[in-house]
Chains A and B, each alone.
Chain A
Amino acid sequence: MSPRDLMGAALRGLTANKLRSLLTVLGVSIGVGAVIVLVAVGNGSGKAVQDRLEAMGTNLLTVSTTGGGGGFVRGQAGPANQQYSLTLDDAAALADKNLAPDISSVAPVMTSSGTATNGDTSYTVNQVIGTTPAYLPATNTPVQIGRSFTQADVDTSQRVILLGQTAATELFTRPASAVGQTIKLGAVDFTVLGVLASKDSTGFNDPNATAIVPITTLRATQAGYGALNQIVVQAAGQDRVDTAQAEVTQLLTARHQVPADETSPFRITNSAQILQTSQDTAATFTALLATVAAISLVVGGIGVTNIMLVTVTERTREIGIRKALGARRRTILGQFLIEATLLSLIGGAVGVGAALIVTRFQLAGVHPVLVPSSIGLALGVSAAVGLFFGSMPAHRAAGLRPIDALRHE
């Protein structure tokens, strides 16, 4: 029998019971589609987390103080509290290339909040950040309109301000018109130098509801001369984040004379570590989803087996007739194997098609990102499932003696 004749016989077999074939195809396509879609969702959520973290700035260490060693009542300004406060001198020491060669830039950070007014419009800025120009590249916060302030502005305590998108929109409606204008922050006039590019939210706070001013200006006009809230440190490279972190710890421990037996009062958040952790979490999540999907694929395969078993049993007489008419074992085997494989492959193709459509939409808040290998894998598995599961009933059918098949009721 030529391949074309075999194919014809298989197709006739499948179309003889359309509803049943359709349901079997559906089972396989759900399995295949689920694998592709769920893997894409897992992958997409991993990508989303990664993108957000990268938006925060890579190679970034954020140093803050936990407020002092044990033994002091919280909130009480004891000597230890002051002892461990971060200062501008700390920031300067960390920026010293000789002391910390793996650090590329350092920005001291002080925050406060205040009400900004532009004529009659007023807006409460949650986060007024006082820092140096190095802060912007380190935290991946580019200026979209206008320009940033300079180190000279910091040195001379210029009253200049950069507005976040939300702050600029609230005060000027059109952010572009803000540049060059003067606003009041508290009782002090500030000139708007630029508007920051919009940032995706990484948490509950709106990252665009900010304003950035030179740290010296913030100290002089708003926050006073207390301790720094943070020091933002950028490592010189992705592979140098850990050594940079060690240098920070070492330098600060030495400068603040932290006793060796005390736990470090400095808290250092490492953006690379957070990224790694969340990537691991995303990978676990993807694996979990893929497992669930793989189970449904196997269930689809069992569906194929079941249908082939029923088909073979039901058509045993037909097999007997075919044998009486001269069909050879491999002809019968081929026909049923092709039937099973066709069921699986059509199901696989439908599943891939459906998955390609479904993954264009946002699912559970995630933009799915297709993994091409998952398509190949799902299709391959569905074909293998057809061959493997279909071969059992097909072998049984082909092995029957003609008379036994003919006598079957």
Chain B
Amino acid sequence: MAAESLIEIREVTKTYGQGETAVHALRGVSLRVEAGEYVAVMGSSGSGKSTLMNILGCLDVPSRGEYWLDGSDVARLSEDQQALVRGRKIGFIFQSFNLIPRTTALANVELPLTYAHLRRGERRKRANRALELVGLADRTGHRPNELSGGQQQRVAIARALATGPRILLADEPTGNLDAHSTAEVLGMFDDLHADGRTIIVITHEHDVAARARRLVQVSDGRIVSDEVTR
């Protein structure tokens, strides 16, 4: 198989509902992403970007088509194995942060490490380091409702990075942030890219997309353009 690609999807479709009311969110998408690439995905609202990312992140399953991740057929993985893939290989960053409420920043960052069966001391250490990396060393004991939007997104990034995943999937990570926070987050992405991670970022903002090396344009469930920009 095409073992050289980190991510490869072939003719993936996703249909919500059936019959008259069926919504075709993806109408046959094929895409290859190599390890270490920095890809931006753009497209109008409702074009299927989030649907694509959810499938890439093993959060959702395609209606049809194949998905090969790091050489293995995702459709053949059991529920638990998929959970393992999410925990070990993929880090998610969502537009709405998705931190666990009433739980400190440190505990939030520790969570994926807990699911990866790391020991307590090691978890602490790594979580603290990840928070330091995003510049929140002094906010480890704060709960999400005690943090600004930008800070929350940085906690989410720390959480996504804590396990050291090879792939970072970000769905409009700067959608809720001001220019300053956006610049900070993008700076972090640049560092991660330099570090050799694979980054796929969905965005509506051209200056965000401009930081990536490759731009994929989606329209009405299809990829309409795919070009290397830098």
Bound Cα distance from A322 to B98, whole angstroms: 10
Asked if A147 lies at the interface with its beta carbon under 8 angstroms from chain B, I say no
Asked if B2 lies at the interface with its beta carbon under 8 angstroms from chain A, I say no
CB proximity of B141 to chain A, nearest CB, Å: 14
Check B83 against A326 for contact (C-beta < 8 Å): yes
Asked if B87 lies at the interface with its beta carbon under 8 angstroms from chain A, I say yes
Check B80 against A321 for contact (C-beta < 8 Å): no
Asked if B79 lies at the interface with its beta carbon under 8 angstroms from chain A, I say yes
Which residues of A, 1-16, contact B by the 8 Å Cβ criterion?
Answer: 1-2, 5, 12, 16
Q: Which of A120-128, A262-270, A303-311, A399-407 contacts B (4 or more CB under 8 A)?
A: A399-407
Asked if B88 lies at the interface with its beta carbon under 8 angstroms from chain A, I say yes
Check A402 against B117 for contact (C-beta < 8 Å): no
Asked if A329 lies at the interface with its beta carbon under 8 angstroms from chain B, I say yes
Check A326 against B88 for contact (C-beta < 8 Å): yes
Most buried by A among B60, B83, B107: B83
Q: Mask for B49-60, Cβ within 8 A of A = 1, else 0?
A: 000001001111
Check B54 against A403 for contact (C-beta < 8 Å): yes
Total contacts A-B at CB 8 Å? 67
B-side contacts of A73, CB under 8 Å: none
Most buried by B among A321, A323, A325, A402: A325
Question: What bracket does the count of chain B residues touching chain A fall in?
Answer: 20 to 34
A-side contacts of B61, CB under 8 Å: 401
Question: What bracket does the count of chain A residues touching chain B fall in?
Answer: 20 to 34
Bound Cα distance from A329 to B87, whole angstroms: 13
Bound Cα distance from A324 to B101, whole angstroms: 15
Q: Mask for A318-341, Cβ within 8 A of B = 1, else 0?
A: 101111111111010000000000
A-side contacts of B60, CB under 8 Å: 401-403
Which residue of B59, B80, B103, B116 is within 8 Å of A403 (Cβ)? B59
Check A326 against B112 for contact (C-beta < 8 Å): yes
Most buried by A among B59, B99, B112: B59
A-side contacts of B103, CB under 8 Å: 12
Which residue of B54, B83, B98 is within 8 Å of A321 (Cβ)? B98
Given contacts A324-B59, A403-B60, contact A331 B98 (CB under 8 A): no
B-side contacts of A322, CB under 8 Å: 100, 111, 115
CB proximity of B50 to chain A, nearest CB, Å: 9
Given contacts A321-B100, A402-B59, contact A326 B86 (CB under 8 A): yes
B-side contacts of A325, CB under 8 Å: 86-87, 92, 111-112, 115, 159
Interface, chain A (partner B; CB < 8 A) = 1-2, 5, 12, 16, 317-318, 320-329, 331, 401-403, 406
